[in-house]
Amino acid sequence: MSTGLGGASFSVNQGPRGTLRGLAAQGEGAAINPRVLRRLFVYMRPYTGRMVVAFFAMLATTGLSLLAPLLIRSAIDDAIAGGDLPLLTRLAVALAATFLALLGAHSLQRYLMSWVGQRMLATLRAELFRHLQQLSLGYHYNHIAGVTMSRVINDVAVINEALSQGLIALIGDSLVLVGIITAMIALNAPLALTTFAVLPLMLVATLIFSRSARKAFRVTRATMAHMVGRLAESIAGMRVIQAFSQVQRAAQQFAAAVGEYRDAQLYAMSLSMSFTPVVELLGMVATAAVLFFGGIGVAGGTVTLGVVVAFLAYVSRFFQPIQELSQLYATLQSAMAGGEKVIELLDTEPDVRDPSDAPEMPPIDGRIELRGVFFRYRDDTPVLEGVDIAIQSGETVALVGPTGAGKTTISNLVARFYDVLSGAVLVDGIDVRTVQQRSLRAQIAMVSQDPFLFPGTIADNIRFGRPEATETEVKAAAEAADLHRFVERLPQRYDTPVLEFGTNVSVGQRQLISIARAVLADPRIIILDEATSSVDILTEMAIRASLQRLQASRTAIIIAHRLSTVRSADRVFVIDEHRVVETGSHDELIAAGGRYASLYRRQSLA
């Protein structure tokens, strides 16, 4: 079953059980992945001091929990049986103090681990975000945004739960278990061995549960990522969904994703819920054995009543750490599933990387040259083959041609969003692969067909490329973009909030804000990618006037299908069949009667 509305799809096997089996096969790995643990422990290292304090608080909790039954035994056998009221008073006070200290130590341990966990959570998420910002555009185009969001939010959360709370719980429960076994043997070895008779059954049940849990929790992580990805895709594509009356279909597909996650969660929960009664049943069997054989011992005078009561207290605690360790194992499985995906993301290398010794790009004049450039996004689909283009500083050139010819790809290579497969892209004679990407892009501005606005104010969006810009500079950029008059009519003027994706302003206004942003950045190279294709004629005229002011004294690359917008360009490059097929001014190409002239005539007659 494919649940994709568009080109991206997430295929799973038919039916809940088939889905679970399929996803389990995709995610199944080692029960505990040492490499993942080593990588994740790095994020706990800055908090070693608090972890040590939490460890000692855990030791105190363990010791105090083991001490309480011994005090109860002494109170019954020594104080009550002997009629020693002062001893009984001291033991009662000691028992109360033990419980208070136990509460304090346990609370301190929980607080410190939560403190460490939240900071580790924030650190890991921040590093993931920084890494995502450094990954090349190719990664973001090829991965569903919602799945990436699930990695940063959900997978990191379960990792935090396992490491911050689970690590101490693992050590603490293990120590409690060893301590209880030691105390029970010391109190009465035959009675202890009677209690331990249920351990083989407990071991079998734990092995069965842990093996199933390993698969179940990997399925849970995979289906959660799928569900979040489907949600993000549907929200981003809501306009298209509604425009094509596909609301019901989108709802059905999201419901299917939710159903897969529900089934995975129910399966994992059913494992836990089936294991818990087994532990409780074995605990009751052990309790009954202690009561029966302990009662016989008391009647025969070989066991004291205090020992039986202490044994009952220990038995009630004996199976708790076993159950908690089994649950912790399940949590670790979920954390391993999430950790493997998070580490895989952190280990993903950008396709476009700066050399280790790359210098900053010096201030540029704006000369651009493509020398024998070959490029393809996928191995089997050529986009550019042997492209040669030379653009002089301050020159305005247009790239025209059919859809898919490679026009936008050329602009992406100039800004070095991608690297060429062979050949070179040079700016002022410098190969763009030899300098820092950041310093190159700081001198390039792009105005696209559908400009992106961030939540914030109009002023915030204008100064996005220069956050330190003053209010005067923001207004000057808006005036240069012919935006100032529109903004001044708004009640809050430049402080007017912009909703997500700029939905409260028109396409033309978004474009003017984008142009003002480019003006304020003061680039030496400006790339205009179909900047006027989505607006009406009057708005286009206003935008075109703003763009002409923006292009003044800068190198400009205009990408356009509407050939009427490129008549003023100094030169036009016609891109077709993955290469440059014609070059010249508008008038020269019209006179030549080639492909450009044919395209222009067809548009004029349309």
Q: What would the pLDDT profile of 12-41 be if each residue is shown by its tens digit?
A: 333 333 444 444 444 444 456 677 777 777
Q: Which helix (H) or strand (E) holds 230?
A: helix 199-236
**pLDDT > 90: percent of the chain:** 6
Task: Give the pLDDT score at 330.
Answer: 66
- Are 143 and 70 in contact by the 8 Å Cβ rule? The answer is no
488 contact partners, CB below 8 Å, separation of at least 6: none
Task: Give the pLDDT score at 531.
Answer: 60
Per CATH, the architecture of 368-605 is what?
Answer: 3-Layer(aba) Sandwich (3.40)
Per CATH, domain 16-346 is 3.40.50.2000: no
The DSSP 8-state label assigned to residue 567 in this structure reads T
297 contact partners, CB below 8 Å, separation of at least 6: 188, 191, 303, 308
The Cα–Cα gap between 606 and 589 comes to 20
Q: Quick: pLDDT tens for 279-327.
A: 778 778 888 888 888 888 888 778 788 888 888 888 877 777 776 776 6
pTM of whole model > 0.75? no
Token reading at 512: 């003017």
Q: Quick: pLDDT tens for 395-432.
A: 888 898 888 788 888 988 998 888 888 999 999 999 99
Instruction: Tell me the mean pLDDT in the region 63-88.
Output: 83
The upper half-sphere exposure of residue 265, i.e. CA atoms within 13 Å in the direction of its Cβ, equals 9
Q: Quick: pLDDT tens for 115-156.
A: 888 888 888 888 888 888 888 777 777 777 777 777 787 778
Between 395 and 507, name the one with better pLDDT.
395
The full set of domain ranges for the chain reads 16-346, 368-605
What are φ and ψ of residue 442, in 5° steps? -65, -20
Torsion of CA 401, 402, 405, 411, to 10 degrees: 50
Task: Give the pLDDT score at 368.
Answer: 92
Give the long-range contacts of residues 287-291, CB within 8 A, separation 24 or more.
Answer: 287/312, 287/315, 287/316, 289/194, 289/195, 289/197, 289/198, 290/191, 290/194, 290/195, 290/315
The Cα–Cα gap between 304 and 310 comes to 10
Q: Quick: pLDDT tens for 176-226.
A: 888 888 888 888 888 888 878 777 887 777 777 766 766 777 777 678 777
The structure tokens 């070959």 sit at: 374
**Angle subtended at Cα 131 by Cα 128 and Cα 133, rounded to the nearest 5 degrees:** 115
- Residue 338: which of 160, 474, 75 has the closest Cα? 160
Task: Give the pLDDT score at 536.
Answer: 57
